[in-house]
Amino acid sequence: MATAPRSATRPAKSARKQRAAGRRHPLATVALIMVGLIGTGGAYALFTSSATAETQTAAAAQLDDGGKLFAANCATCHGMALQGTTQGPSLIGVGAAAVDFQVGTGRMPLAATGPQAEEKPPQFTDAQVAALAAYVASKGPGPAIPAAEYLTGTGDAAAGAELFRINCAMCHNVAGAGGALTEGKYAPSLAGVSAQHIYEAMVTGPQNMPVFNDDNISPADKANIITYLRYLDQTPTPGGFDLGNLGPVSEGLFIWIFGLGAVVAITIWLTARSN
């Protein structure tokens, strides 16, 4: 049988070699994927570690600032270790929410001793209040500052009104106007109080207020109560003068003073005219 000439087989072999040389190695794709993964992972780890380091540095600086503020303004009454003294209770375990409420509303530091701490202009900036809250929270677990989703005032106002009447109206009045308690204490008005401070008061129970934890009133129901109070703030009194929103007491007093006073004045005027 005749065989192909060598000159005819050489071009075919060289063509096969060229095609083989042009092909990628089977492991080349795997190598490229590995390089991409290692590069991406390394970059992510670098950026993440940098962001984490910055966050940790900022948190440490905030705690340091909070410790200095506490030592200068709070330790006299509450102790350097937050253990409490004869002048003030322990703050271990009260949480960031209690500090944000008490300091953010100006109730702390106290201006003077009395039946209860009164609201006044805050003595610290928002950043300083946050630093104090973070420092106290670092010494023991407690209620945290509420999430923003519960502070929008867009819940169910009707459900909030029912919950408020059942749990809060006996002290704060059904319209949130506040009221007197025993021994010179009082429930403050809730008009204009921020949603965050209302929520914090419910979970920490300041002054004479009971604590409403999540087992008593769920976070969603707390949001409904806030919605009701926001509704009261935004809705004008349809019947005329609100008379302090104190109910039948102020209304009856108004009738006695002005109503009966007007009747007496008219009677005297008619008598004097007839004479």
Domain boundary at 143, 173, 196, which? 143
CATH number assigned to the domain comprising residue 77? 1.10.760.10
How confident is the prediction along the chain (275 residues), in pLDDT tens digits per residue? Answer: 455 555 555 555 555 555 555 566 666 677 777 777 787 777 776 666 655 767 788 889 999 999 999 999 999 999 999 999 999 999 999 999 999 999 999 999 988 888 899 999 999 999 999 999 999 999 999 999 999 999 999 999 999 999 999 999 999 988 898 888 999 899 999 999 999 999 999 999 998 999 999 999 999 999 999 999 999 999 876 666 666 666 666 667 777 788 888 888 888 888 887 76
- Pair 244, 177: CB distance under 8 Å: yes
Cα gap 200→115, rounded to integer Å:
21
137 and 151 Cβ atoms separated by less than 8 Å: no
Domains contained in the chain, number: 2
End-of-domain residue from the set 81, 114, 143: 143
Question: Same domain, yes or no, for 109 and 162?
Answer: no
Q: Which residues constitute the domain of residue 109?
A: 48-143
Q: Distances in Å between the alpha carbon of 263 and those of 77, 87, 255, 268, 272?
A: 57, 55, 11, 9, 14
52 in a domain, yes or no? Answer: yes
